[in-house]
Amino acid sequence: MEQIGHWVNGARVTGSGRTADVYNPATGEVQAQVALASASEVDAAVARAAEAQPAWGATNPQRRARVLMEFVRLLNRDMDKLAEALSREHGKTLPDARGDVQRGLEVVEFCIGAPHLLKGEFTDGAGPGIDMYSMRQPLGVVAGITPFNFPAMIPMWKFAPAIACGNAFILKPSERDPSVPMMLAELMQEAGLPDGILQVVNGDKEAVDALLDNETVQAIGFVGSTPIAEYIYSRGCAAGKRVQCFGGAKNHMIVMPDADMDQAADALVGAGYGAAGERCMAVSVAVPVGEETADRLVEKLVPRIDKLKIAPYTAGDDVDYGPLVTGAAKERVLGLVNAGVEQGAELVVDGRDFQLQGYESGFFVGPHLFDRVTPEMEIYRQEIFGPVLSQVRAGSYEEALGLAMDHDYGNGTAIFTRDGDTARDFAHRINIGMVGINVPIPVPLAYHTFGGWKKSGFGDLNQHGPDSFRFYTRTKTVTARWPSGLKEGGEFHFKAME
């Protein structure tokens, strides 16, 4: 069986103790074991990164950017290889896996602009003979803790800007699908990154706590569930670190009576069931305005849901979604579905008995559609992270707006309408970080920033875009005055003592 260790000082190394199983989600079989780093292993990786970082930080930004340029070339070269490894451990379809890599690659492309993004400011003549200027300097050693659902994209969102800024980076990816982060580290090495600048330390809570407690680590970024985001944010800040944490979501899509109902239904099916719902930007709540709109929307959704193709990634590029990542994830989703039924929601499409012939032990979950969900229900309050779409009927636009605004989470939202005034009002008033207008999953492109509000985000700076360069650097401001002395030339005669 394959043994997956760590990537330290430019090479794969074996672990020294505990391991965790890595599953094939389609079959339910264990396909590899991944090492779980001890605190001492984490500390050793951090110490080596600290030794390597000063030379990298002193390398000019253009040369650092050239490493990322070569990394982009290698990502494109190995796209299919990365996607296959990702699908094998995560379960998502091959087109979805390629998209995972591509959205990370686009952030790397943005980071190639580091020479421009790291420029400081200059004021000539701020006072008599005084100039002022600022410079952005790396923090030193920084770390990222990334989730299972995007094992390529989110690690690149973290380490690409950090390394472009001159930092050394410790990546603690999810132990559920660790192969792709290791492959990314190998590609960065091939691209010319010096040893020790990117370390991959696989592990669980022990490794996370070791990073939080290590005084050398200056900043930590995290993506995952809200309870863990709150834990890392509070403990990291208490330790004096710079911290950005992104948590859970419950993304609402408001459907106005004037919306193109076919377009809205297509958007909901893709955004709600794509990647088996294991996306923090998945639309999990549809909010049609008016009973007629709700009835029309359900009428459009049901036949589309019935046609979904659920299969392993090996079944072809026309698969709509695959299995969940683990058996525990499957049991949690089905438990929440049962809670919805018990609490009185109307289960219009029931996927609880879904079985895929030949893959009965896999972690597949059929699609579910709830109607007449109310805000006090568990399926409305919690992030399900599975192929479950809930419809909450709203009597008016104001009621629909209030549902999204009153929810604890504030990651993403969308509105489908043909009315520009309604869309503009929605975009201005909604207290959610990312907004789509006739766009169901409004993930910003790499040169903007990604981040949620309320309990979806902790910290004052977002991921990727200009905010990432602010997060991974500190600003130093210099005030300079040069005394006059040699403008008239040197003196060559011996000056007598006065």
- Residues 420, 333 share a domain: yes
Q: Domain of 409?
A: 251-437
Residue 129 banded pLDDT, cuts 50, 70, 90: confident
d(CA 448, CA 439): 16
421 inside domain:
yes
Residue among 111, 165, 245, 280 flagged as catalytic: 280
Q: Using CB atoms within 10 Å of the CB of residue 2, give its burial: 0 to 12 exposed, 13 to 18 middle, 19+ buried.
A: exposed
Q: Answer whether residue 282 shows pLDDT above 60.
A: yes
pLDDT reported for residue 492? 56
- For residue 230, give the nearest of 248, 216, 217 by alpha carbon: 248
- Residues 139, 59 share a domain: yes
446 inside domain:
no
Phi/psi for 22 (5° steps) reads -115, 120
- Residues 259, 141 share a domain: no
Q: Answer whether residue 295 shows pLDDT above 60.
A: yes
Q: How many CB atoms lie within 10 A of CB 223?
A: 25
3-state secondary structure of 315: helix
- Residues 167, 62 share a domain: yes
Q: Answer whether residue 170 shows pLDDT above 90.
A: yes
pLDDT reported for residue 483? 80
Phi/psi for 47 (5° steps) reads -60, -40
What's the rounded mean pLDDT across residues 102-122? 97
Among the ranges given (172-186, 220-234, 483-497), the one the predictor scored with the smallest mean pLDDT: 483-497
Structure tokens at 206: 């022990």
Domain count, the chain: 2
Q: How many CB atoms lie within 10 A of CB 116?
A: 10
- Residues 285, 193 share a domain: no
Structure tokens at 221: 């970024």
d(CA 268, CA 415): 11
445 inside domain:
no
Q: Answer whether residue 463 shows pLDDT above 50.
A: yes
d(CA 66, CA 59): 11
Q: Answer whether residue 488 shows pLDDT above 80.
A: no
How does the average pLDDT of the chain come out, rounded? 96
- Residues 393, 350 share a domain: yes
- For residue 165, give the nearest of 196, 200, 193, 139 by alpha carbon: 139
Q: Give tens-digit pLDDT for 371-423.
A: 999 999 999 999 999 999 999 999 999 999 999 999 999 999 999 999 999 99
Residue 497 banded pLDDT, cuts 50, 70, 90: very low
- For residue 323, give the nearest of 347, 350, 355 by alpha carbon: 355
**């990727």: which residue's tokens?**
464
Strands 457-458 and 473-481: unpaired
d(CA 305, CA 214): 48
Catalytic residue check, 280: yes
- Residues 80, 7 share a domain: yes
Structure tokens at 392: 């909450």
- Residues 414, 282 share a domain: yes
Residue 485 banded pLDDT, cuts 50, 70, 90: low
Domain harbouring 282, CATH code: 3.40.309.10
Structure tokens at 122: 């200059």
Domain harbouring 141, CATH code: 3.40.605.10
| Distance, CA of 180 to chain centre | 15
**Residues across the chain:** 498
pLDDT reported for residue 16? 85
236 inside domain:
yes
- Residues 228, 256 share a domain: no
Return the exposure string of 36-73: e unless at least 16 CB atoms fall within 10 Å of the residue's CB, then b.
bbbeebbbbbbebbbebbeebbeeebeebbebbebbbe
- DSSP letters of 109-121? HHHTTHHHHT---
Q: How many CB atoms lie within 10 A of CB 31?
A: 15
492 inside domain:
no
pLDDT reported for residue 494? 53
Q: Give tens-digit pLDDT for 187-218.
A: 999 999 999 999 999 999 999 999 999 999 99
d(CA 271, CA 413): 11
443 inside domain:
no
**pTM exceeds cut of 0.85:** yes
- Residues 113, 229 share a domain: yes
- Residues 187, 54 share a domain: yes
**């479950």: which residue's tokens?**
388
Distances (CA, A) of 68 to 59, 109, 141: 14, 8, 19
Strands 283-288 and 409-410: unpaired
- Residues 162, 306 share a domain: no
442 inside domain:
no
Q: Answer whether residue 313 shows pLDDT above 50.
A: yes
Determine contact, residues 137/57, Cβ cutoff 8 Å. yes
**């989110």: which residue's tokens?**
154
pLDDT reported for residue 316? 93
125 inside domain:
yes
- Please, how many CA atoms are within 13 Å of residue 347, restricted to the half-sphere of its CB? 18
**């949690």: which residue's tokens?**
332
Q: Give tens-digit pLDDT for 51-91.
A: 999 999 999 999 999 999 999 999 999 999 999 999 999 99
246, 249, 255, 259: CA torsion to nearest 10: 40
Q: Answer whether residue 17 shows pLDDT above 70.
A: yes
